[in-house]
Amino acid sequence: MPPREWNAASYDRMSDPQVAMGLDVIERLDLRGDERVLDVGCGSGRVTEQLLARVPNGTVVGTDGSQAMVDQARERLGDRVELFAADAAELVVDEPFDAILSTATFHWIPDHDRLFARLHDALRPGGKLVAQCGGAGNIANVEAAIAKVDHPALRGWPGPWNFAAPDETVERLTRAGFTDIWAWLQQWPLDPPNPREFFATVILGSHLERVPDEDRMPFVDAVIDAMTVPLRADYVRLNILARRS
């Protein structure tokens, strides 16, 4: 399945929490400022813009599986960043990168072995991969609410997410040829600023594609109603550091 399209304007409005998480991840890149860096799953470009500020003498390239996201990122970044649409699991680059950043993206990609092999080949020898995505246990309380709502169109569907654990991630990165690997989980509970739009765009977008139009916002409301008050999404992040040998 190719990556789906996102509501990019809404994501741009709703992604304050993702930007806050992304800033932490950028710090781990430990940049000098003259590197060639790729942002994989750049979305609407808000984290990419923060990355750009830390590479004043280098090059930033962004890629995303959603053309709408790439267009939204281009609106924000103009020609300061080269942008292209691609499935990260099929990524091929002309010139290797010193570093790859990725935030809030890998859990949308089903085959991490394939993904890591493509990212490995996109790095120069010694190049760094610094990433964060949803990890094992991520938003378990939202998954429980979705199960409670039990929409007929979603029965039997395993859901869109691949929330991996650190151990299996280390094994996959090793198989792909990475070294100096660290992978760990981090709790990041968050109270969405505008729950209806946040849930519809950031969390439940793939679910909504499967339910009839007229059920979409009622489904979002039912999921929110099925959660405890005060509303909190129990985010658990999988952090990844690795180096191409």
Chain residue whose CB lies nearest ligand SAM: 43
Residue of the chain from 17, 65, 135, 205 that contacts ligand SAM (CB under 6 A) = 65
Piece of 63-71, 140-148, 183-191, 210-218 that binds ligand SAM (CB under 6 A): 63-71
> How far, in Å, CA of 181 to CA of 179, rounded?
5
Residue 103 near ligand SAM by CB under 6 A: yes
How far, CA to CA in Å, does 78 sit from each of 44, 45, 83?
Answer: 12, 10, 9
Which residues 6+ apart lie within 8 Å of 213 measured at CB? none
Piece of 60-68, 172-180, 193-201, 207-215 that binds ligand SAM (CB under 6 A): 60-68
Q: How far is the CB of 235 from ligand SAM (least distance, A)?
A: 11
Residue of the chain from 10, 18, 72, 138 that contacts ligand SAM (CB under 6 A) = 18
Residue 14 near ligand SAM by CB under 6 A: no
Piece of 102-110, 147-155, 161-169, 210-218 that binds ligand SAM (CB under 6 A): 102-110
Q: How far is the CB of 229 from ligand SAM (least distance, A)?
A: 25
Residue of the chain from 83, 109, 142, 240 that contacts ligand SAM (CB under 6 A) = 109
Q: Give the Cα-Cα-Cα angle 137, 138, 141 (nearest 5 degrees).
A: 85
Tokens read off for 157: 């569907």
Strands (E), the chain: 36-40, 59-64, 82-85, 97-103, 123-134, 178-190, 233-244
Residue span 23-42 as binding mask against ligand SAM, x where in contact by CB under 6 A, dash where not: ------------------xx
Nearer to ligand SAM, 74 or 215 (CB): 74
> How far, in Å, CA of 216 to CA of 44, rounded?
23
The answer to whether 26 and 101 have CB atoms below 8 angstroms apart is yes
DSSP notation for 86-151: --GGG---SS-EEEEEEES-GGG-S-HHHHHHHHHHTEEEEEEEEEEEEBTTTTHHHHHHHHHH--
Residues 181-240 that bind ligand SAM (CB under 6 A): none
CA 47 to chain centre: 11
Q: How far is the CB of 238 from ligand SAM (least distance, A)?
A: 14
Nearer to ligand SAM, 108 or 235 (CB): 108
Residue of the chain from 26, 31, 37, 43 that contacts ligand SAM (CB under 6 A) = 43
Residues in contact with ligand SAM by CB under 6 A are 3, 6, 15, 18, 22, 41-43, 46-47, 64-66, 69, 87-89, 103-105, 108-109
